[in-house]
Structure 1
Amino acid sequence: MDTVIPFPEQPSLNVANSASVFPVRRVYCVGRNYAEHAKEMGFTGREDPFFFCKPADALLQVADGETGLMPYPQQTSNLHHEVELVVALSAGGRHLTPEQAQACIWGYAIGLDMTRRDLQGEAKKQGRPWEVGKAFDDSAPIGPLHALSETGVLESGNISLNVNGQARQHGNLSDLIWSVAESLAYLSNLFELKAGDLLFTGTPEGVAAVVEGDVMTAAIDGLGELRVKVGAPA
């Protein structure tokens, strides 16, 4: 097949303890899915989940034991960290029950939903989309995928993030307002889920700004650590 331009590279993630890779189709994110984070963002209660997307090529892959480098993004002076459990799907469908959605999960990873908070806040005030705040280049640092067959179903366990050794975020996966399976089931009523999709499942309280030179260390029980340094502006 002749193409006008070369086909873009297929985004993929490394798999822990394997030479295989996981091709990525779409990246969905669920917002305000921990009660205390919802409160710090000005909301309370168990509101229906809502979602936004990041482009698959916004993923910044970091290998186990390494420190990734994320350039400080353009056009912001308020870059925030948000540590999240990421789930990867090996199957999908429409109108799934939570039980059916759970069966679609292939594995898990640690991810960071980096946010240009000032640009997101301005977009909110003007009733505009959030892409400039959420979907920029390298906005989704992520560690290797761990197969569910090795980790078991992750429904509880510590999730945390520190910056330069100082604690910033801490919670438990059991604190999710909407469980992983419930979030996926709800999402399947909005989009047809397919193999290769990722879902960032929400962040606990304590989101805050980072600056050039900061080192973020995210951890989730059973998945190890994800370390990312904020570099000079691109």
Structure 2
Amino acid sequence: MSGNYSRFVELGRKIVAVGRNYRDHAAELGNAIPDKPLIFMKPATAYITEGSPIKTHFNQIPKGCTSLHHEIELGIVIGKKATDITEANAMDYVAGYVLALDMTARDLQNIAKQKGHPWEMAKSFDTSCPVSAFIPKSSIPDPHNVNVWCKVNGNMKQDGNTKDMIFTVPYLLSYISQFFTLEPNDIVLTGTPAGVSAVKSGDVIQGGLDQLIKIEFRVESSN
């Protein structure tokens, strides 16, 4: 693989996210444990990097939201075109990793779930995918044994380990690629551990991945 994956935010065409990939997170929201990966999408316009705020609109993120939650996740940066790949060779398509927040309008998501509607309004709005810098693949020898944590205003909210994921990285990449092609610089978000909570304008969200990388984003009102 060759390419400047540090520019994945500029060059990536899509963000593929996995829901309910940690049993404790599914349980805290009263959701059933899935027997197949639960997939949804975010557009590349959802990205922000450090220095840019998670924006509110009159303290509603997005418009109409009254309960915005943080979800800290390990992301997989795709290194080469992947179509219908196998689990056995799936890691060959990984360029590296990223630490990400899957910001979720929980009230809008709950309404969508009740009505059987898609989640895009709750998951795909602008600034809903804050991300770290690119992490080279060699920095994480085993993506199934790294700690991920999230603090809000200095208070620990999420503290989990990727060993608790229901579906492994190779399984997820193989499964997703059976339905649509993953392209270089796309990312796959692998789900979040328990401890999600609401944030509001003025809050500071921090996250970390072992000792490798940390992120910090402020929630700010645009009114």
Contact 2:5/2:95 (8 A) holds in 1: no
The CA deviation at 1:211 is: 0.8
Equivalent in the alignment of 2:36:
48
Equivalent in the alignment of 1:27:
15
- Cα distance change on mapping 1:45 and 1:78 into 2, 3 Å: closer
CA distance in 2, matches of 1:86, 1:139: 14
The aligned amino acid for 2:53 is L
Equivalent in the alignment of 2:25:
37
The CA deviation at 1:44 is: 4.3
Equivalent in the alignment of 2:87:
98
CA distance in 2, matches of 1:109, 1:99: 22
Gaps of 5+ in 2: none
Equivalent in the alignment of 2:212:
223
CA distance in 2, matches of 1:118, 1:124: 10
Equivalent in the alignment of 2:54:
70
Equivalent in the alignment of 2:46:
58
The aligned amino acid for 2:45 is D
Runs of 4+ in 1 over 4 A off after TM superposition: none
Contact 1:32/1:202 (8 A) holds in 2: yes
Equivalent in the alignment of 2:178:
189
Equivalent in the alignment of 1:4:
none
- Cα distance change on mapping 1:85 and 1:93 into 2, 3 Å: same
Question: Which of 178, 189, 201 is the aligned partner of 2:190?
Answer: 201
The CA deviation at 1:99 is: 2.4
The CA deviation at 1:46 is: 5.2
The CA deviation at 1:151 is: 3.6
**DSSP 3-state at the match of 2:90:** helix
Identity, in percent, stands at: 36
Contact 1:84/1:202 (8 A) holds in 2: yes
Name whichever of 203-212 and 117-126 sits farther off.
117-126
- Alignment length, in residue pairs? 213
1:73-222 equivalent positions in 2, closer than 5 A: 73=61, 74-222=63-211
**DSSP 3-state at the match of 2:53:** strand
The CA deviation at 1:39 is: 1.0
The CA deviation at 1:232 is: 0.9
**DSSP 3-state at the match of 1:184:** helix
Q: Deviations over 1:151-179 (max 9, x none)?
A: 43422121110101111011101111101
The aligned amino acid for 1:186 is Y
Contact 2:208/2:215 (8 A) holds in 1: yes
Name whichever of 75-84 and 187-196 sits farther off.
187-196
Q: Deviations over 1:118-146 (max 9, x none)?
A: 11111111221111100001100001011
- Cα distance change on mapping 1:233 and 1:78 into 2, 3 Å: farther
Bigger CA radius of gyration:
1
Q: Deviations over 1:18-67 (max 9, x none)?
A: xxx232121100000011001112234452111000001110112xxxx5
**DSSP 3-state at the match of 2:88:** helix
Contact 1:14/1:144 (8 A) holds in 2: no
CA distance in 2, matches of 1:161, 1:93: 31
TM-score w.r.t. length of structure 1: 0.86
**DSSP 3-state at the match of 1:71:** strand
CA distance in 2, matches of 1:94, 1:146: 23
- Cα distance change on mapping 1:132 and 1:45 into 2, 3 Å: closer
